[in-house]
Structure 1
Amino acid sequence: MGVNLETSRFFTRDFEENGSMERVTLFLNLANDPTIERIITPRLALTTAEYYAYQLEKHVLVILTDLSSYCDALREVSAAREEVPGRRGYPGYMYTDLSTIYERAGRVAGRNGSITQIPILTMPNDDITHPIPDLTGYITEGQIFIDRQLYNKGIYPPINVLPSLSRLMKSAIGEGMTRKDHSDVSNQLYAKYAIGRDAAAMKAVVGEEALSSEDKLSLEFLDKFEKTFINQGAYEKRSNFESLDTAWELLRIYPKELLNRIPKKTLDEWYTRRPSDKSANKDTRDNQDKPQESENLIDA
């Protein structure tokens, strides 16, 4: 929606190269196409997805990009109708309008199909408080925040984990689903990464010589976390278990007493354990080795 030719060619080329084009239904609205067409494009895509999911009982992935262009089209139509503007000129009903798109993901009782949405939007001036990302954050079940600074450092994918979140994570991790240490490790990684970012900001002001030994450990963790945990190859397949093992390798940078977000019992069990130890839930590992692929993909 409202994309340039370069973006449209990127998606088309990627679908062709990985052999998924025959399973893709593509709705394309370029930047120079009519505004009203931009507004109906996501609804056409989602109606098609609902047919695949609830009539043909397929598992459908819907990628919507760029929702910012869609919202700009809403503002343009609202201004033409001389409606009272809301925040930054966007219509006051934009929250309701976006919810009619995002909330069409999910499942229907009595049907085996499902719809998964990945809406993509750009933040004007990298402002997370802008109405578009702000309202989207209230409606959706999670966000992945792409960071320009990480991209410039060569980290791929450049995901900033601090503003990223999943509201469903707590219901899908733990013993029997991933691994029993998952929640504790995640909390500790978040905390140490935040401390590392603060230490990096302090270093820029006072220099590394003025930092404490703990701050220097935080800087070491920050660098290794971004380069070994966040950074992945474009086609790398890393399991949850491999990620958790990598996380423990990073956390061993710190002495045990500094890992205060992890219970002592969990520390005693995992702090000295190495990835070669076969300790994970075997049934869960077997299930993870056989991911369920989406049968159809719709891109708008």
Structure 2
Amino acid sequence: MSGGPVGVEYTGVRELRGPLVVVEGVREVGWDEFATIVLDSGERRHGLVLDVDRDLAVVQVLEDTAGMARTGTRVAFAGTPLRIPVGPGWLGRMCDGRGEPADGGPPVLGDTRAAVGAAPINPVRREPPGEPVLTGVGAVDVLTTLVRGQKLPVFSAAGLPHLELAVQIAAQATCAGEAFAVVFAGMGLTHADAEFVRAGLAARAAARDLVLLVNTADDPVIERLLTPRLALTVAEHLAFVVGRHVLVVMTDMTAYCEALREVSAARGEIPARRAYPGYLYSDLASLYERCGRIRGRPGSVTVLPVLTMPAGDITHPVPDLTGYITEGQIVLSAEVHASGAYPPVDPLSSLSRLMRKGVGAGRTRPDHPAVAAQLTAALARSRQVRELADLIGRPALSPTDQRFLDLEDVFRRRFLAQGTDENRSMDESLNGAWDVLLTLPRGELGMIPVDLLDTRTAAREKESP
């Protein structure tokens, strides 16, 4: 990993502060410049300029400052931001959080180099999303459809299988036969989780349509801030130059935000809500807004961030600010998980705001929008009836309400539950949704057009013995 030609070397290290080095006496050094740090032993480390004040430069060291001393340390600034090679050479590779090979292969090479801190897409040149990314997970494909160019986070909590869901989506996702790739960025993973990710995505890596970047919990905290930016830089080139539709899965964004908080504290910045830096919103937006489609360019970048809500609190700064930036959310539920259903998606808390742009005739199936709307409405009614039954008891409910009371259980058994390696087609998922809806009286399915309802009812009666 190189930032370009090495310039003047500075030896005036004023302070070592956590992962930061404060260098004095610098001239013509700018923010985001790439730096090469040479220790007295000859060891070389790398860093990025976080701040410049007159003749002082604050450099974040990617490999941390352990073993460094103020004397004998030399710092050279490249005069350019960090740039990495980009291109198809990343496909099929497994690397650490800094992009260094972790699969025993040679360094990743490319004909082009791109700046890691790229700018978000110009809104004027954005192409509206309009086609789905199919994940093979029924609850996502039917109720919260992911659309090419969308940013759709997964909100989870400790103990829920968010990593399993992220790996399953990364392993199964497709774009209806078009050129496709997945970039998976893992941040703060345990070694067991990292191995689970590698094993779960081995087949996709062998097919050379996966880029895997893994930062483990014992890696330097600064590396955690670099990992998602590397992933997005690689994805942008694969999408807008090579012409692939790219899904970027980033987990866990809470670990990323905690790393940002740690660096902010080391810099001595005034903390904001829950000690996170005041620029947390803009920092997250600088990542999430790099997805989309560009008018006149091939391909697309779709982002699926996964984050754990501390104590399950959806008002915590990380999910709260993420929700402001992104276009919906997939929420995992501890209650659904306790019932034994996987994936434990809460359909009433989950939402894809761009779903209407990517479903229907010519995209998924003509009956998809109506079935999804009716199933969500029915589940909302089921929850209301359950609360009523807690007050007055099941025997006091009307026959129709009793059917609705049973609906949530039917939904979990017949539609929601699937294996962690089960890849469902859209037809299978929608047919499962129909099976759930047809347990209700026909008069309660008023959101579905009559012709669709007649066709499905006749087919069900024909299938019945």
TM-score, structure 2 as length reference? 0.54
Indicate if the aligned counterparts of 1:121 and 1:133 stay in contact, CA closer than 8 A. yes
Structure 1: distance between partners of 2:458 and 2:428: 13
Indicate if the aligned counterparts of 1:52 and 1:60 stay in contact, CA closer than 8 A. yes
2:219 aligns with 33
| Matching of residues 86-105 of structure 1 within 5 Å | 86-105=272-291
The one-letter amino acid of 1:192's match is A
Indicate if the aligned counterparts of 2:204 and 2:210 stay in contact, CA closer than 8 A. no
Which range is displaced more, 266-275 or 60-69? Answer: 266-275
2:432 aligns with 246
2:356 aligns with 170
Shift of 1:40: 1.5
1:286 aligns with none
1:231 aligns with 417
The share of aligned pairs that are identical, in percent, is 47
Structure 2: distance between partners of 1:276 and 1:41: 54
| Matching of residues 18-97 of structure 1 within 5 Å | 20=206, 22-97=208-283
**Partner SS state of residue 33, structure 1:** coil
Match 2:314 to one of 128, 133, 144? 128
May I ask how many residue pairs the two structures share in their alignment?
A: 276
| Matching of residues 133-148 of structure 1 within 5 Å | 133-148=319-334
Shift of 1:185: 2.1
Indicate if the aligned counterparts of 1:85 and 1:91 stay in contact, CA closer than 8 A. yes
Shift of 1:246: 2.7
Which range is displaced more, 100-109 or 194-203? Answer: 194-203
Shift of 1:273: 3.1
1:273 aligns with 458
Indicate if the aligned counterparts of 1:196 and 1:219 stay in contact, CA closer than 8 A. yes
Match 1:158 to one of 344, 347, 352? 344
Structure 2: distance between partners of 1:267 and 1:83: 60
**RCO higher in 1 or 2 (8 Å CA, sep ≥ 6)?**
1
**Partner SS state of residue 272, structure 1:** helix
Indicate if the aligned counterparts of 1:61 and 1:116 stay in contact, CA closer than 8 A. yes
Shift of 1:82: 3.0
Which range is displaced more, 22-31 or 98-107? Answer: 22-31
Shift of 1:190: 0.8
The one-letter amino acid of 1:272's match is T
Indicate if the aligned counterparts of 1:181 and 1:266 stay in contact, CA closer than 8 A. no
Shift of 1:173: 2.1
Structure 2 gap ranges (5+): 1-186
More strand by share: 2
**Partner SS state of residue 61, structure 1:** strand
Match 2:294 to one of 85, 108, 133? 108
The one-letter amino acid of 1:101's match is L
Structure 2: distance between partners of 1:57 and 1:176: 22
2:7 aligns with none
Indicate if the aligned counterparts of 1:156 and 1:231 stay in contact, CA closer than 8 A. yes
Closer, same or farther: CA 84–12 of 1 in aligned 2, 3 Å: same
